[in-house]
Amino acid sequence: MNTTFTAIIKQSGKWWIGWIEEVPGVNAQGKTKEELLRSLKEILGEALEFNRTEAHEAAESGYSEELVTV
């Protein structure tokens, strides 16, 4: 599944900093724009996997999965 997210990025002095607009807490910095975008992608993937695992653990058993489109 490929999903597109929005990275809000800017250069601040010698660093590039950025946030993923749709997911609170996903932010990073890098020495180059490319490094920043790689870091954001990696951190976003980790955050989504963590949230997925946490949701399954919270539901325990007897749950179903449904797709939700906004």
Quick check: is 49 in a domain?
Answer: yes
Predicted structure pTM score? 0.88
Token pair of 42 as six digits:
């990696």
Tokens standing for residue 35: 């490094």
Of 9-13, 37-41, 66-70, least confident by mean pLDDT is 66-70
For residue 13, pLDDT over 70 is answered with yes
Of 63, 35, 44, nearest to 2 (Cα)?
44
Is the residue at 42 inside a domain?
yes
Task: Judge whether 62 lies within some domain.
Answer: no
- pLDDT of 1 reads 65
**Confidence label for 70 from pLDDT (cuts 50, 70 and 90):** confident
Residue numbers of the domain that contains 38? 7-53
Query: Number of structural domains, the chain?
Result: 1
C-alpha to C-alpha distance for 15 and 17, rounded to whole angstroms? 6
Domain presence at residue 23: yes
Long-range own/partner contacts, residues 4-11 (CB < 8 A, 24 or more apart): 5/44, 7/37, 7/40, 9/33, 9/36, 9/37
